Amino acid sequence: MEYALLRSLRALGPGLVVLGYIDLFLALVVKRDAYFWELDSAKLFLAGYVVGGVYGVLASLFRRDLYAFDGVQSAILEALQKLFPELNGRSWQEVSPCFYKLIDTDKSLEQKSKGLYFNGFIVTTSFDAVWLSVFASVVGGGVALYSGEWSYLLIVACVATSSYGVWLAAVKRHRELSIGQVAVIGGRLAGDFRRCIREVSKVDLG
């Protein structure tokens, strides 16, 4: 799956989750007909992209990706430091330019990145679903309890729990795939990586 398409789906995913929770609240708690999921697919996707785009802007302000991919950067850095002891004491910010440079320029690593892109989509979508479920329970939970509509809270809890499990598995998989890229760099591209690190160090030193 192409990166541009995955970027597009990363915006659509949380948008559809938000619309789904709005309709769920209307149907189960307010006892009104669902609105968004009665739309034709084109209008539904358009609404999903708009809501997802707004959500994406807000999520970026709270550094969503940093928390969604928790532990991935540190796992990559630790794996690189095992193969290149001279990196001990360096931060991810110092090392990452060379790591991503090789990924962008090497064909085999570029192919591996396609699997990472798709897995990254699962990571962010499941992470978004967890926190949107928490928000839905907080916002609609009081009204649901007051009206005695436990099914709303039960569905929200099931979505949050299953999304959390998917997120944990996807983050673990992302670390494994990233470390697989490190193994390629440590083997066939070790010389290129060391040269890049030396060049970056010269620039940093002025």
Write the CB contacts of 200 (distance below 8 Å, at least 6 apart in sequence): 94, 97, 98
Closest CA to 6 of 133, 166, 113, 134: 113
One DSSP character per residue, 34-94 reads: -SGGGS-HHHHHHHHHHHHHHHHHHHHHTTHHHHHTTTHHHHHHHHHHHH-GGGTT--HHH
Alpha-carbon span 77 to 91, nearest angstrom: 8
Number of H helices, E strands in the chain: 8, 0
Residue by residue, pLDDT tens for the chain (206 residues) are 566 777 888 889 999 999 999 999 888 888 888 788 788 889 999 999 999 999 989 988 888 888 999 899 999 999 999 999 988 888 898 898 989 888 888 887 877 777 888 899 999 999 999 999 999 988 877 777 777 778 888 999 999 999 999 999 999 999 999 999 999 898 888 888 998 888 877 645 34
Other CB atoms within 10 A of residue 103 CB: 19
The amino acid occupying position 86 is E
